[in-house]
Amino acid sequence: MAMMKSNGNVTGKMEDSEFHEFFVDELKDIYWAEQHLYKALPKLQKAATSKELAAAFEKHTGETQTHINTLEQVFSLLGEKAEAKKCEAMAGLLAEGDSIVGDTEKGSMTRDAGLILAAQKVEHYEIATYGTLIAFAQIMGHSDVANLLQQTLDVEKATDVALTKLAGSFVNEEAAAE
């Protein structure tokens, strides 16, 4: 994560400003995160026990592809090259998902409970990131960019709600009984 100098001017000439660079850097970070999530979701889908959770992961794989495309649109609107920069936070969250698969039994509801936990951590990370990026875009006067990122944020929030419903409806109850 790039640092902003304390005298960073966020209202001056945006294109060359340090804040613009910082914003683009953070876009590269979430671009990496979405790309790697896109690769990880089919693995989570395969590991899931219930078909409901597998279906939720499948749905979000398609949505994540859209998020990648949306970020490419954002880069293009800003006149920047779409570039990915390793996001340590997403790398850590995905590693946690892998370890949950390794630590739980195939076909168990405990595995699904763990996968839901891992997936919700990912969604909350994305929600925090997009929320802040939207605020930055608005400060910079890029309302077109803010609107695009808002569409992604809405999908991340809906995914989080869907996962919460899944967790509440059956997974945790059955896992507790195992």
> Which residues would be at the binding site for Fe ion (CB under 5 A)?
64, 67, 126, 156
CB of 108 to Fe ion, least distance (A): 24
Residue 72 CB partners (closer than 8 Å, separation 6+): 82
Q: Closer to Fe ion at the Cβ: 100 or 110? A: 100
CB of 84 to Fe ion, least distance (A): 14
- How many other CB atoms are found less than 10 A from the CB of residue 122? 26
CB of 128 to Fe ion, least distance (A): 12
Question: Nearest CA to 151 among 72, 66, 75?
Answer: 66
Which residue type does 135 have?
A: A
- How many other CB atoms are found less than 10 A from the CB of residue 12? 11
Q: Closer to Fe ion at the Cβ: 19 or 134? A: 134
Q: Closer to Fe ion at the Cβ: 20 or 133? A: 133
Specify whether the CB–CB gap between 108 and 152 falls below 8 A. Answer: no
| Runs of H (alpha helix) within the chain | 18-47, 51-77, 88-103, 109-139, 143-166, 172-177
- How many other CB atoms are found less than 10 A from the CB of residue 169? 11
Q: Closer to Fe ion at the Cβ: 29 or 110? A: 29
Q: Which tokens in the block code for residue 8?
A: 């960073």
CB of 29 to Fe ion, least distance (A): 13
CB of 21 to Fe ion, least distance (A): 23
Q: Closer to Fe ion at the Cβ: 20 or 47? A: 47
Q: Which tokens in the block code for residue 100?
A: 């949950």
Q: Closer to Fe ion at the Cβ: 64 or 104? A: 64
CB of 165 to Fe ion, least distance (A): 16
| Residue closest to Fe ion when measured from CB atoms | 67
